[in-house]
Structure 1
């Protein structure tokens, strides 16, 4: 994990208001759960209402009654974080794994774990990078295999994976440094990528667009477009027009390139990873449109299908996830930069819809033309990098987008990236489970 290339927001301005009773109580809860108040929790304290939902969900997944034994939970979390080379979270989960009686031999790598966990590696890999490839056959293989998973165990494992895949994007997106007591905590390593040439010279790359927001008018222009969309009567678009707009956003996303300098995984991370060269591939470039059509949210939505299935197979988790999704999506202080009384709903919806679009999920009731109106190219590139290739992000990338936003607002954007990505992965996973069951 190349933390030294990324801005460490938590080391700059963490809004720990000692007079804020809610924040103090949340920090106490985090300390009880983790025997520390990790940097990631301190950073989330910009948004205490969200942090409350996050802590409840993560505690339930890792520490309360559930289908999986505790050592399996933490080891699956380690395997999930390995897909994005997130050493920060791997170190935290390795500590928890040992504290909960995990076999130290397993920390030598996946060659030392039970076959049941090895069998899970393939679905973890696909879920992390190309979840649209998951089928009911993947579920059946684990349920009916020699080292059988129960449906409830598998659901628990799938949710853990989506949680830690997405949490890895937040760690990189905000540039979290290692804990102070970790090796190299708050220090620079000698093998970092040079920020000055971290990105290719391709005109579609993120660094090339560093001043796009200024060229397009910056925050004032964005707010004007948001206001216009809010006040304008909803366009009556035909299904064909909405499909065309979705396809346009999808193809434009595929044209956006990210860093060509892929950080080399360290040996202490590779030990937990199978097939490290398997990474995100643009959905628009999938092998067959007929074999892998777009995922219509109306056919299988979180609200109508995923929520109830999750609760059915893993009691109460659907409710906790639903609260967390809604909190990240609806959270607003009606501010943007130094501006107040701003309706940010259209901006938030555009970000969420764009992430789902990159994963092939189409909302028939959304006008995808708004994505291009509200998300300038440089921000799209940042969103794509954080969501799909978080380990490639650099400090320059963080500094080059949302320049007029406050740090707390950038953190909020990264929380939306976390939750939208998790929901997208989870929809594919739960849909496959449902198809297996029916």
Structure 2
């Protein structure tokens, strides 16, 4: 009787699987290779579409011809972003993004890269009922905008550091007085008044031709706090003795210095505008005044949980926006804190075989934007959270390196964040310390 029931169960599951359509896509910029398949039949069709409206419509129409129910169309491809992914999700298909390494491991011993073969592998993965793949839950409009702005801001921050280092190197080679004006702090070199000064007068001779009153008026126009002190510092730096510089090198670097200063000014203005927009997306309105608080916050114009992110120590508008943008507005896609920790790369991987045991501290396959943001969050929380500092110091005393201790702290912060987001409550340091003390207490004997 049990065997008969088992046979009926498998036959019923087989009938359900026959309605499934697997779609594998090897995507590119101008075209995409597609493979379609059914359970039991394998690959039934392979073709190539152009990255155009007509090509994507052809793909969707062909899939709906083979399977009228869009929910039963499982699409596996090696990216989770782009207009192709959005079009497939809008069509109602079940989109299952995978890491490219997962496809590469199934190419065979030769590891030969072929677009049509990769599409076939993706299709077979879509048909594999025992392969656990996470369904893509697209970001909402607000969360998608927040993610895009946060990623652009992170790239701009890297470009800003790179250009500032290049500017400092050029100034040391041709205009050392400008470095003396800025002082030892590289942040002063990237200040608006210094960048505007270099954009207008990129050489020693050009700046020496103007008088102190002109420099003071310039500093006042650039909204420097002490224009007279700035003019005096410029005069003293120009009067100091410096090693001679070749004239040809000064002529060659003058335009480069002015251009770099102009680029840094543009990046600074763009990042300020992005920061204001990220704060508005988190809180529902732009911050105003010295208190930096929104006047009329509208929850409908804010990313869900924005105020929860900002309640955590170490998270300002920029870092909170980077983390919230990567997690998205559907925390339910992570049914356990470990899922979020693995997604960010903070959860360690244990490899056990026989008597050997290896712990890989950082996962290779993870969201690097999220992993970088939470690592920085852990570092920023050391000065604003008592238990975080204690946790970090304990790891350091146990022999952990600096980044290993920060990664462990970030892993713990993500667990707390997951609980706060799922319960819809703001973080409270006192409550967490009280709960942590209870958990660390040894059990009392009965």
Is the structural similarity TM-score above 0.5?
no
TM-score, structure 2 as length reference? 0.24
Greater share of residues in strand: 2
Q: Which has the larger radius of gyration?
A: 2
Higher RCO, Cα 8 Å, sep 6+:
1
